Structure 1
């Protein structure tokens, strides 16, 4: 195993030791444990603000679901959130968005708010307002700040403001309107004692517009390193940069899948390596399809939200793995058309029976076949994701 592997992970250290001792089964178990832990890093995000600020709409939007889908946070012009309510991400249940009751309601006064909502369990807070941030918002932010947790001010319903300005002003200018809204929020917070507040302007119905991508980048940058991918994979594909970051994160894990494949190839049990490889690849490729939003439900929601017909989005997809339930038969069919990978997988199994050198050769071939195959699948699906994104914006795909 090369030195680029994460030496700070206890599982990886133990895997290296097992490989050095030729205990391939133990090495495989440790790599599997590492991958499972990586996929299940918990992330708890609190969404709070005053009644009517658009908290629930934001919770639904960031989870990529509509307000009438199963599991959606209820929305409305009255206070719909009376208890702390958990909304796990539909694809990544380790990431939970918590819709908190409105700040300053009679039931939850601001000075007792953090105690009521069990402040300690949240990784960070998003404080939402649909106009100026008020005294209760500021009090909450100050208490969070004292407890050394992160918080972010989000000004919601920007699309409404833009529409109102267009109707009421002859010399409408979108940039001028956005600057005025941002400056108004910042000045209000400064008057309440914040020296250099940052405010993100967001429309829950048009996440690709305004400051949502900047918010995502800020959250990712300020999260602990081991939680960044958990956040990244939940983000909707609203920019090419997010798609590329997802690809990079998936790519970084391929070496671990390849080492798992190699370790299993070293276990002297006939056909075990091929069986494990195919089962592992089914799981990994399914993660790619879901992560890039290339499953049917995601594409249908994208069609509704953008107004681009579903058929037009599907038409730019080239990979035979998109829009499919990934299974062993499908992967065997696709890999059979990949000469190098197909030969390597067969050769790895056959080489196990060569005296003395058989196991090391099998391990090397298995590593190479898994790495090249998953990289190929990842590249083609990432390109599909970019084409779909560009098509959703009314652009001609560039890849």
Structure 2
């Protein structure tokens, strides 16, 4: 059985102690508690900026939804955000994007702004502008800095700037234009007293272009370790690297589900282990499908956004569990066609009747079967996500 569990995890220590005392039910409860806590780490992201900066559009884009979807932040050319508004991620509700009122409006003057929005609850701030960052943006950044919170400047609507430059200049060069915009933003912020501003050029309509990937890498690097997966799992598929990172994060957790499976197998109740294993695996694989955006709703949104027909996206998918509601019955049907795994699960149930050594053998077989099944479907769904991403890019 895998022996590489986090030594600093109190739940894992208690689980090992319970196993040493042959209290398999307590061990299973501890690992279950650990996994639930891991999946429910809260992450609160504040999006702010002046009226018309594109805050709401950014909130919708980063959540992977369109402006006319249910639960979308309202967009418009007037100040549509008049109160602090929470927008939970549709698939990971523990991650919340907060659309904050425009800085410096008469209703929320800059010197009262942070108190009004209860800044303490946010993990970091993203300050958005569609042109130059202004005095109120700088005032807010300085106040956030004094309170030792992280903040990042996002220069939005970059695609519009590129289009305007193309139309107006004969010798247009995209890299030169982007460098000029970035340098202009950084110099303007430095002149107003921000020593080392972190500025990212982003198009909310085309997150895979420009510097959203760099923004994500920066946030991932600067977030506490226990919050990184929450950010990662909610990030849209803007690159192949994001999909690979999601796969790696899921892979690191498989040993814990396998460990839970083994602990349950140690409980001397015939049939219990298989039933619990299938329930665990169905829930985990459902998370894979949702996070890799392989559910029908996500694929339809991708088709609408990119113009690639839904049927063409579906055509590159190979896993039998993509696009489906992953139930225990469906999973059992698919697993039954996987010869080696089926033998392992049958052997587990049979081995528990062997005197003295039956339970330890059953635990080892349960660990192996769960690990192999989850790894197999993780790999196949991650490959599907890569193929869909490539198809969508055309």
- The two structures share one fold, judged by TM-score above 0.5: yes
For residue 210 of structure 2, give the secondary structure of its aligned residue in structure 1. Answer: coil
Structure 1 residue 37 corresponds to structure 2 residue 41 = no
Shift of 1:270: 1.4
Shift of 1:2: 4.4
* Match in the other structure for 1:264: 264
1:52-201 superposed matches below 5 A: 52-201=52-201
Structure 1 residue 320 corresponds to structure 2 residue 320 = yes
* Match in the other structure for 2:382: 382
The 2-side partners of 1:243 and 1:258 are apart by 23
Conservation of the 8 A alpha-carbon contact between 2:49 and 2:128: yes
Instruction: Count the aligned residue pairs.
Output: 394
Structure 1 residue 362 corresponds to structure 2 residue 379 = no
For residue 382 of structure 1, give the secondary structure of its aligned residue in structure 2. Answer: helix
The 2-side partners of 1:368 and 1:115 are apart by 53
The 2-side partners of 1:4 and 1:127 are apart by 41
Shift of 1:333: 1.4
Provide the alpha-carbon RMSD of the alignment: 0.8
* Match in the other structure for 1:48: 48
For residue 367 of structure 1, give the secondary structure of its aligned residue in structure 2. Answer: helix
1:258-337 superposed matches below 5 A: 258-337=258-337
The 1-side partners of 2:174 and 2:301 are apart by 27
Conservation of the 8 A alpha-carbon contact between 2:2 and 2:255: no
The 2-side partners of 1:58 and 1:196 are apart by 24
* Match in the other structure for 1:229: 229
For residue 128 of structure 1, give the secondary structure of its aligned residue in structure 2. Answer: strand
The 2-side partners of 1:27 and 1:199 are apart by 47
The 1-side partners of 2:342 and 2:72 are apart by 43
The 2-side partners of 1:220 and 1:53 are apart by 24
Shift of 1:3: 4.1
| TM-score where L is the length of structure 1 | 0.98
- 1:231-270 residue CA offsets vs partner (Å, 9 max, x unmatched): 0000011111100000000000000000000000000111
Structure 1 residue 220 corresponds to structure 2 residue 220 = yes
The 2-side partners of 1:304 and 1:188 are apart by 38
The 2-side partners of 1:266 and 1:341 are apart by 19
* Match in the other structure for 1:372: 372
For residue 238 of structure 2, give the secondary structure of its aligned residue in structure 1. Answer: coil
- 1:60-117 residue CA offsets vs partner (Å, 9 max, x unmatched): 0000000000000000000000000000000000000000000000011001100000
For residue 333 of structure 1, give the secondary structure of its aligned residue in structure 2. Answer: helix
The 1-side partners of 2:355 and 2:95 are apart by 48
The 2-side partners of 1:289 and 1:28 are apart by 25
The 2-side partners of 1:118 and 1:190 are apart by 27
Shift of 1:148: 0.6
Shift of 1:195: 2.2
The 2-side partners of 1:166 and 1:300 are apart by 32
Change (3 A) 1:2 1:321: closer
The 1-side partners of 2:234 and 2:198 are apart by 23
- 1:216-238 residue CA offsets vs partner (Å, 9 max, x unmatched): 01001100000000000000111
